[in-house]
Amino acid sequence: MKEKLESYVDPKKLPAHVVIIMDGNGRWAKKKNLDRISGHREGMKSVRAVVKGAKDLGIKHITLYAFSAQNWSRPKGEVNALMELLRQYLLKEGDKLSENDVRLNAIGRLHELPEDVHKVLTQTMEKTRHCRDLTLTLALSYGGREEIVDAVKKIASNGKISPNKINQSNFSDYLYTKDLPEPDLMIRTSGEMRLSNFMLWQLAYTEIYVTKTLWPNFRKRHLVKAILNYQKRERRFGLTGEQVRARDVI
């Protein structure tokens, strides 16, 4: 049955870049009468499954929202546990990522991460720099508004572009995502219908898919379902449906 669903995926219409707001770890744990940290630990299994699943499906870019700029305000014990899980993930997965040709990338105010986490993150990115099959980007200490403010600060301080020369294209070059393609599909787990400060600029024309599945329960088959749903949609980018269909014929 699992194989069957996947066979409906059109490899020619794969999203080039899938981004995921991994949400619902706390609620998963609560349902099971466990502490929130157990939910985060369980969520790491989903990260592994989804990275492997994305690679097997032929997706070239996946970005996971792992820790927001606002998540620093959670209880200290939870923040520390999340940082430790991240450090362990990077330590354990580093070699596997490189063996599987997965390049690790990160976006966010990375300098705000604890030093030991920052170090292993940098090492893993370095180790996988040559990898080409899939780019896994972790959004860490990431905020969309923070990213836009950081871009404005850079533009203002280096004075290379005169104000009347600023446009969407050269502005994008100052975002953390400058080397990434536009996200085609954004998935949010746990049913929440909000962006929570994620990729505010980049999501302008991204297709949004919200599933009630809590992140620790999310597996490749859920990713496949999201992609199948995406492939049925018509992306219009402000044009009429007729215009889009005429363009597709050419």
Q: Which is nearer to Mg ion, 36 or 55 (CB)?
A: 36
- The reply on whether position 71 binds ligand IPE by CB under 6 A is yes
Q: Which of 38, 123, 172, 196: binder of ligand IPE (CB under 6 A)?
A: 196
58, 101 in Cβ contact below 8 A? Answer: no
CB 190, min distance to Mg ion, A: 7
Taking the C-alpha atoms of residue 137 and residue 119, their distance in angstroms, rounded to an integer, is: 16
Q: Is 68 in the site for ligand IPE (CB under 6 A)?
A: yes
Instruction: Scan for tokens 């032929």, then name that residue.
Output: 58
Q: Phi first, then psi: give them for residue 154, nearest 5 degrees.
A: -65, -45
Angle, CA of 66, 77 and 44, to the nearest 5°: 35
23 is a contact residue toward Mg ion (CB under 5 A): yes
Quick one: 86 or 102, whose CB is closer to Mg ion? 86
Please give the positions annotated as active site. 23, 71
Q: Which of residues 98-157 bind ligand IPE (CB under 6 A)?
A: none
Q: What is the DSSP letter of 113?
A: S
23 is a contact residue toward ligand IPE (CB under 6 A): yes
Q: How many angstroms separate the Cα of 217 from the Cα of each of 17, 22, 24, 46, 156?
A: 22, 11, 9, 7, 44
Does 194 contact ligand IPE by CB under 6 A?
Answer: yes
- Summarize as ranges the residues that interact with ligand IPE (CB under 6 A): 21-27, 65-68, 71, 82, 190, 192, 194, 196, 215
